[in-house]
Structure 1
């Protein structure tokens, strides 16, 4: 499903699938940060909270399942054993799912928002 799309369309489709699933799963405080032109790791980052470890784990499972069903077979995940902070690497989009207090502690929105607004590095 994703293989026939251009890189830009593919990135947008992956982001759309993730945001739809998080909305369906009642994720809280969903934030999307564009990383295009600012980082080589991904085009976008999504940060969201779940109400508990169980909620975070369920959201992560459903996001990963939905991406695999769409044809993205190389989805990687970290933190699924404790579900305090689950990172999903969906190639073009990085997803961080947190319990609220863990999210507050790491404050990735501030860190990455500042990085996203910093001037782009010129290649040497």
Structure 2
């Protein structure tokens, strides 16, 4: 057995709270029904028209829900999409993809387990994607809103 030798002084470095790196936020994993509720609340707050929720569980593997809604005009659709993306980010949902923001006639927001389609009313009528899933296109809401 070898005798122990004395080691020089040990120096340590402590960081102040202001300079210490913060750990990366751990993304929350929302259940599909919670994600759907978050999206519905966002669309409701932004006054989306004719919101339809399509339950895809057991029908497809790419999502559990599809939400289809109408906006009054391209600015309204763009604002809804941007606010929705921000709320999803704040909730810890990562990897949200958006398509169609250049024209905003039809914006698709892919939030993983929930796919959101935001349409201008005439574009929604033309594509009628609810019919693909066995649903009828909703009749326009009774309260007419101004569009710019």
Superposition TM-score, scaled by structure 2 size: 0.71
Kindly name which structure, 1 or 2, has the bigger radius of gyration based on alpha carbons: 2
Q: For 2:134 and 2:32, locate their aligned partners in 1 and report how far apart those are by CA, in whole Å.
A: 19
Q: Does 1:103 align with 2:124?
A: yes
Q: For 1:17 and 1:49, locate their aligned partners in 2 and report how far apart those are by CA, in whole Å.
A: 17
Report which structure shows greater RCO (CA 8 Å, sep ≥6): 1
Unaligned runs of 5+ in 1: 115-124
Q: Which among 28, 43, 68 is matched to residue 2 of structure 1? A: 28
Unaligned runs of 5+ in 2: 1-26, 136-148
2:134 is paired with a residue whose SS is: helix
Report the RMSD for the aligned CA atoms in angstroms: 1.2
Q: For 2:38 and 2:28, locate their aligned partners in 1 and report how far apart those are by CA, in whole Å.
A: 11
Q: For 2:86 and 2:133, locate their aligned partners in 1 and report how far apart those are by CA, in whole Å.
A: 26
Shift, 1:2, TM fit:
2.8
Aligned residue-pair number: 109
Q: For 1:110 and 1:46, locate their aligned partners in 2 and report how far apart those are by CA, in whole Å.
A: 13
1:37 maps to what in 2?
58
User: Which structure has greater strand proportion?
Assistant: 1
Runs of 4+ in 1 over 3 A off after TM superposition: none
Q: Which among 101, 104, 112 is matched to residue 80 of structure 1? A: 101
TM-superposition CA deviations, 1:69-108 (whole Å, max 9, x none): 0001210000011100000000000000000000000001
2:23 maps to what in 1?
none
Superposition TM-score, scaled by structure 1 size: 0.84
